[in-house]
Amino acid sequence: MTSITATTGTVDVGSLRGHVSPLDTLRQTILMAGRALQKMRRNPEQFFDAIVQPLLFTPMFGFIFGGAIAGSVTKYLPLLIPGILVQTALTTCMATGVTLREDMEKGVFDRFKSLPMSRLAPLAGPALADCLRYVIATTLTLIVGLAMGYRPGGGVLGVLAAGVLVVVAAWSLAWIFTFLGTVMKSAQGLQGVSMMIMFPLTFLSNAYVPVTSLPGWLQSFVNVNPVSHIVSAIRSLANDGAINGQVGWAMVGCAAVVAIFMPLAVRGYRRQA
Amino acid sequence: MSDLAVHARGLVKEFKGSGGVRAVDAVDLEVRPGEVFGVLGPNGAGKTTMLRMLATLLRIDDGEATIFGVDVKRSPHQVRQLIGVTGQYASVDEKLTARENLRLFGRIHGLSSKRAGATAVDLLGRFDLEDAADRTIAQFSGGMRRRLDLAASLISQPPLIFLDEPTTGLDPRTRGQMWDTVRDLVRTGSTILLTTQYLDEADQLADRIAVIDRGRKVAEGTSGELKASVGNSTLALRLADPDRLDEAARLVARTVGRTAGRTPESGRLTVPLDRADEAADVLIALRETEIGVVQVSVEEPTLDEAFLALTGEHAHDKDDPGRSNSSMSETDLTNEMEASR
């Protein structure tokens, strides 16, 4: 009972650590991810979007656009499934930012801030835990696609690689929303801004239509949109089992997003006051 | 370098958007190791803002602060290793159980899984939360939350503990329990900086008290010293007709030149006195004016009176209607006294 007592008298200031080591940062990130998973388990509502979207959007887009764009639904699926994989992942990672924003309004973040802990871990932990939601969304989209008649030419390995790429891409793009979560005042506001980022990013890409069908000025945006590269990379992995330049560009795009938005998010979190 | 637990000089926090109002305005603070230091002030006085600045949760706009000699602005990470913070709103995770919370914070502090578990059990026992250990915090009462919050602040055994309004919103019995908990902490040698809007809380717990009003420190001392600053004794009266309270207060001002504290709801008037026999002057004056008195006592001044006397200067400011029971302002009284000549 008495083993926990505060001390008084001379305080040994010299023994204080100057910073958090990378290993501690990693350890704390995993702890915070564990916390996020525990909360997901208690509030399964957080899986709602990851489960319903693939079940709803995949058939919806397939049957609406299939005939018009590719002649038939089955012919459209190789084009659509990679696109909808990315769109679903993006919508799911939008929630990462909103959940974080709501979480930061709670008192517990005061404690995280007052602890001598990594400033990255409270952001990176939930982002890591959300990979579970991306895995669920990706798996369900693929299952629905297969049920609708999607026969990916890349085989099991190609599809698996495509799935991994989707999850990595979602984790990377989630840093944009995490950053917004650290600088925006309210979860509602963040939701609105996120939608405005998400829609152009997914629809102004090659996710649903062949790029050649677009006007020239739009094509130039679509071609630099990282989402286009990610979609192309997933198409070549899943449909052809080919690792080509698009996969490389997708990885570079993801790395660039993380390199820009992770430090910005940490800075935003530090400056919250 | 100072040996003080907290040493602040000219602390300033200015919030933009509210017309550049200084929430904390040039406050100096010295907290010695091993003492309980109370920061006392009404709602919105800047207590919490000040505490959050010292606890590295808010940027210090101007001034200097050190915790055990470590600079808060330059070395926040080091300062965080010296402090435990218990917020006004429980800073624990609502969705997790008490045990999960304590374990999580233990692990973040670098304890092994096993030690974090043992520490959690130990703290749950010490704060009388064993029965609720595996319930989520959302199901906790206010008092239980505060206790868990305090328990979480003690995991790393910090030499300095910040307690932000530890009993605000608690019922009297739970409040008493919280006080006992704080006293226990003091016995084990912790240094505590607590903020409170309750005078009796400061009186009960704090070795020394700083009175904060509108971002400024208006007084500092032991509760005895603060009480003494309003006079040696207090005359407490209850009037037969509460409507004549203002009239009576003016009469007191004329008779002994003192500002009387008024409580309109109960028709109570308190008059700080230098000498107890001034009480007779007041009573005679009231009899001559035929203001009926139903209860009289001469008491030691309470911290309440000290507080009202120290923060009452602007009680009649139009922008602050929330403090109508404090004493009359000095200008009001001067006018009254002049008018009566």
Nearest to A4 among B34, B93, B157 (CB): B157
Q: Which residue has the tokens 């008059």?
A: B271
How high is the pLDDT of residue B6? 94
pLDDT the model gives residue A151: 92
Asked if the model's pLDDT at residue B331 lies above 60, the reply is no
**B121–A contact, CB cutoff 8 A:** no
Residues in chain B closer than 8 A to A117 (CB atoms)? 80, 108
pTM here is 0.79
Could you report the predicted ipTM of this complex, rounded to two decimals?
0.84
pLDDT > 70? residue A53: yes
Percent of chain A beyond pLDDT 70?
A: 96
Give the per-residue pLDDT at B330.
Answer: 35
Chain A contact probe: residue of B54, B108, B139 with most A CBs at under 10 A = B108
Mean pLDDT on B221-229: 81
Q: Enumerate domains of chain B plus CATH numbers.
A: 6-227 (3.40.50.300), 231-340 (3.30.70.100)
Instruction: Output the CA–CA distances (angstroms, integers) from residue B128 to A66, A184, B178, B181, in the order listed.
Output: 64, 39, 11, 10
pLDDT given for residue B320 in this prediction:
36
Would you state the pLDDT for residue B260? Answer: 83
Tell me the chain A residues in contact with residue B194 when contact means C-beta distances shorter than 8 Å: none
Q: Which of B93, B102, B127 to mutate to test the interface with A (most CBs of A within 10 A)?
A: B93
Pairing of strands B83-86, B36-40: unpaired
Q: Are B189 and A115 in contact (CB < 8 Å)?
A: no
The least confident of A231-240, B117-126, B290-299 is B290-299
Looking at per-residue pLDDT, the higher value among A16 and B228 belongs to: A16
| Cβ-based contacts of B56 with chain A (< 8 Å) | 113-114
Q: pLDDT of A209-264, one tens digit each?
A: 888 888 989 999 998 888 999 999 999 999 998 888 889 999 999 999 999 999 99
A-proximal residues of B, 241-300, CB under 8 Å: none
**Of the partner residues B57, B81, B155, the one whose CB lies closest to the CB of residue A110:** B57
The mean pLDDT of B226-250, rounded to a whole number, is 83
Listed in sequence order, the residues at least 6 apart from B141 whose beta carbon sits closer than 8 Å to its beta carbon are B174
- Of chain A, the percentage scoring pLDDT greater than 90 comes to 58
pLDDT at residue B18 in the model: 62
Provide the percentage of residues in chain B whose pLDDT is more than 70: 88
Compare CB distances from A108 to B55, B69, B92 and report the shortest one's residue.
B92
Question: How many angstroms separate the CA of residue A219 from the nearest CA in chain B?
Answer: 44
B325: pLDDT strictly greater than 80? no
Mean pLDDT for B177-201 is: 88
Q: Is the pLDDT at A5 greater than 70, yes or no?
A: no
Is A172 a residue whose pLDDT tops 90? yes
Q: Which residue has the higher pLDDT, B315 or B66?
A: B66
Q: Distance (Å, rounded) from C-alpha A241 to C-alpha A254?
A: 21
Q: What integer pLDDT is reported at residue B229 of this predicted model? A: 72
The answer on pLDDT for B232 being more than 80 is no
Mean pLDDT value across chain A: 89
pLDDT tens digits along A88-139: 988 888 888 998 998 888 888 889 999 999 999 999 999 999 999 999 999 9
